Structure 1
Amino acid sequence: MKVTLYTLIALIAFAANSLFCRMALAEGYIDAWSFTIVRLLSAAVCLSMIMATQSYYLRHRKLRLSHSFNEEILSERGNWLSSISLVIYALCFSIAYVELETGTGALILFSAVQLTMIGWGIYKKETLSHLQWIAFVIAITGFVYLMLPSASMPSLLAAMLMAISGVAWGIYSIRGKTCLSPLRATGFNFIRSLLAIPILLVAGFIYQNIMDVQLIHIDSITMEGIWLACASGAIASGIGYSIWYMAMPLLKNTQAAVIQLCVPVLAALLGVVILSEPITLTFMIASTVILSAVLVFILNKQPY
């Protein structure tokens, strides 16, 4: 039951992240580089406050946990590989998102995530049954059917950036299987990511001068853009990724990969509820196919 709850909350957070990003960047409320910086900063601040509270209670209150176990939790510091993966994912996603159609970006991103996580799962000897393979193919088919109408031929650079973003997210997810404290691992990963902010600013300005294009639009940043970036960082990313790290040890890599195919469906549902976007027949068919196939994949655990 715990794994179902954690996974569902994390998937909703991922979908909300997509919605916040779309609202902020597509409407021109903020540029991609500034969005990424505010997102990382707000997540680090939010998680630092939560970790400080957690540390106080673990050190000064009786939480029915042994002293040694409390110390193990407090010793969790995340790791640099996860932090670097997080920065690469966030930055490449934000930049590529502006250049790609929604369907194109989703197809490239989730294809990269699937290949990374399922490939690693197979490498780690995670066996899939025949029925699971069939369910996976059906889920992918439904996903392509959902995204293909809004897809278009992408630019090579944007496609590569989105693919890199997907690989980085796959690596970041896989790293969550070994953390002692999902909250502290995520928090310290975001705190480390702040070291990348000066690098991002310098790289952005250098890129602008060399390519004669403007990536950072400080004058056009609006409060709406800042609030959306903060919501994406503090809530959807900071808290959402912590919960995802709670779910990852309870899931196989292949399960975690396939389950994420539900994110575009949830994002579309949030778009219907929050942005009053219309429900199409394509969405209804594709959603039914994806959710049904993912359910079959999860429930079928024994290989043939």
Structure 2
Amino acid sequence: MPTLSRPAVLLLTSATMAAFAANSVLARLGLATTETGAASFTAVRVATGALVLWTIVRARRQAVGGSWPSAVALMVYAAAFSVAYLQLAAGTGALVLFGAVQLTMIGWGVFQGDRPSLPVWTGIALAVGGLVALLLPGLTAPPLVPALLMAASGVGWGVYSLRGRGSQHPAADTAGNFVRAVPLAALLLLPAALGDGLRMDGLGLGYALASGAVTSGLGYALWYAVLPSLRATSAATVQLSVPVLAALGGVALLGEAVTPRLVLASVATLGGIALVVRQRR
């Protein structure tokens, strides 16, 4: 792969972070403002993401990779993500998701024998405290069950990321995992069809297609294109912008309020994770 210039790296990185944040906004738009059900949204998102990623990988004359355990972790992320966004605001959901992803990966390192320094423990405590403060009962607290579902989604994505570390062909593996996730997403439609969850209108379909094809499929393709040009610390740190961008998108497109509780929780959670990342670079 040719070396990217610094302006190209900046442009591609910014576009990728915007795409990741847009996933939260599109999910919230599709699930809160249309008649689309969570199972339908998830199935369309996964299927279109698989199609786009498979097309990109095959155009490069690569074989798709991946594994079934990673596909299951991907589906846990995608399914819980959609159900949670039936009620969570875009920024709140992105913060809980991102915090759970990072804490899952940090926690696994500790479990594997990593011995964090005092600044790292301080960062972990700040991040956990920020999420706990966000979820404490109160007038501006998010709904607890959807928030816990989003945390489960973050754990799923954290496991997925851990399984993919060290992959020699991350784009091909991601394409293969999405392809394997398609029949799993189809299984979600069966119980939904028996209830009232198998719903989708034209606008909801559009949001789901955009989420799968653009902000998931093309977003991941962009990320893997720019990732070799980023230091590990930079790659982790730049992702701190995603919850902030999602919150701004929620304000602009959904009229969501940014509460003092969300701001303080974001500062604590993202600041704590930034401290961990910088110390463990």
Cα distance 1:91–1:137, how it changes in 2: closer, same or farther (>3 A)? same
Residue 69 (structure 2) pairs with residue 93 (structure 1): no
Residue 133 (structure 2) pairs with residue 151 (structure 1): no
Q: Where does 1:125-274 land on structure 2 (aligned, <5 Å)?
A: 125-142=113-130, 150-152=140-142, 154-155=144-145, 158=146, 161-206=149-194, 208=195, 214-217=196-199, 221-242=200-221, 247=227, 251=232, 262-274=241-253
Taking the aligned partners of 2:20 and 2:132, their CA distance within structure 1 comes to: 19
Task: Specify every segment of 5 or more residues in structure 1 that has no aligned partner in the other structure, as ranges.
Answer: 56-73, 209-213
Match of 1:32 in 2: 38
Equivalent in 11, 17, 22 of residue 16 of structure 1: 22
Query: 1:298 Cα shift?
Result: 2.9
The TM-score with structure 1 as length reference comes to 0.71
Query: 1:167 Cα shift?
Result: 2.1
SS at match of 1:98: coil
Cα distance 1:172–1:103, how it changes in 2: closer, same or farther (>3 A)? same
Tell whether the 8 Å contact from 2:127 to 2:268 is kept in structure 1 after alignment: yes
SS at match of 1:216: coil
Tell whether the 8 Å contact from 1:103 to 1:147 is kept in structure 2 after alignment: no
Residue 69 (structure 2) pairs with residue 81 (structure 1): yes
Cα distance 1:12–1:272, how it changes in 2: closer, same or farther (>3 A)? same
Tell whether the 8 Å contact from 1:76 to 1:179 is kept in structure 2 after alignment: no
Cα distance 1:35–1:146, how it changes in 2: closer, same or farther (>3 A)? same
Task: Specify every segment of 5 or more residues in structure 2 that has no aligned partner in the other structure, as ranges.
Answer: 1-5
Tell whether the 8 Å contact from 1:47 to 1:238 is kept in structure 2 after alignment: yes
Taking the aligned partners of 2:104 and 2:204, their CA distance within structure 1 comes to: 32
SS at match of 1:92: helix
Query: 1:20 Cα shift?
Result: 0.6
Paired residues in the alignment total 270
Cα distance 1:120–1:7, how it changes in 2: closer, same or farther (>3 A)? farther
Query: 1:38 Cα shift?
Result: 0.9
Query: 1:191 Cα shift?
Result: 1.1
Partner deviation per Cα, 1:80-107 (whole Å, 9 max, x = no partner) = 1111111121112212332556687567
The TM-score with structure 2 as length reference comes to 0.76
Taking the aligned partners of 1:270 and 1:276, their CA distance within structure 2 comes to: 9
* % same residue: 40
Query: 1:108 Cα shift?
Result: 5.7
Taking the aligned partners of 2:273 and 2:153, their CA distance within structure 1 comes to: 23
AA in 2 matched with 1:21: A
Taking the aligned partners of 1:89 and 1:184, their CA distance within structure 2 comes to: 19
AA in 2 matched with 1:26: A
Match of 1:41 in 2: 47
